[in-house]
Amino acid sequence: MALPGIYAAASLLTSIVPDQIQPAGIDLRIGEIHVFQEHGFLGVRGRKIPTSKPLEPEGDKWLLKPGYYKIVFMDAIAIPSNAVGMCFPRSSLLRMGVMLGCAVWDPGYRGRGEALLIVGNPHGVEIEVGARVAQLVFIRVYPQLGERYSGIYQGERLAGEKI
């Protein structure tokens, strides 16, 4: 069962803008775009997330050349313990040759998440700060065993919001 946006909106820790509410789930806005500065490492146990540098927007938008970027969402989220978030790119992004790599948001996760932006259009793309780029669809977890996310990303990038 997918939650309608008006219910899913309760998971946002930041104030919602009306366009974010979708028939199924909510849209997430883009807050930062980073370029990678070194390689990553994924081992059997350990990992090293590469450092990255935020790109300054020109005025209120980024002019992106083809390539791979990390993005940080503007919205902070608290996934309820009885739901899982499935994150998808907005189709408008795909229609302009841009892909968003976005994964599963676990029950109980709180934070301001990250994703991968792939600009495939050889002419590049312009993205405005705060544009909606992803749709988070909330699926009810049943039966609910009470397991919640407790990994290293718990509470990431929360500032004024309650952890």
Ligand X SMILES: O=c1ccn([C@H]2C[C@H](O)[C@@H](COP(=O)(O)OP(=O)(O)OP(=O)(O)O)O2)c(=O)[nH]1
Binding residues vs ligand X (CB under 6 A): 87, 102-106, 109, 113-115, 149, 151-153
Residue closer to ligand X by CB (options 36, 153) is 153
For the bound state, the minimum distance from the C-beta of residue 62 to ligand X, rounded and expressed in Å, comes to 19
Residue nearest to ligand X (CB): 151
For the bound state, the minimum distance from the C-beta of residue 28 to ligand X, rounded and expressed in Å, comes to 10
Rounded-to-10 torsion of CA 125, 34, 94, 155: -150
Residues 6+ apart with CB under 8 A from 101: 115, 116, 117, 118
Q: Residue 70 in contact with residue 118, Cβ under 8 Å? A: no
Burial of 102 (0-12, 13-18, 19+ CB in 10 A): buried
Residue closer to ligand X by CB (options 152, 159) is 152
Residue closer to ligand X by CB (options 63, 103) is 103
For the bound state, the minimum distance from the C-beta of residue 6 to ligand X, rounded and expressed in Å, comes to 22
Largest CA distance in the chain: 48
Residue closer to ligand X by CB (options 62, 105) is 105
For the bound state, the minimum distance from the C-beta of residue 123 to ligand X, rounded and expressed in Å, comes to 26
Which residue from 85, 90, 91, 119 is spatially nearest to 103, judged by alpha carbons?
85
Distance CA 52, CA 70 (A): 8
For the bound state, the minimum distance from the C-beta of residue 107 to ligand X, rounded and expressed in Å, comes to 8
Q: Residue 32 in contact with residue 54, Cβ under 8 Å? A: yes
Residue closer to ligand X by CB (options 124, 139) is 139
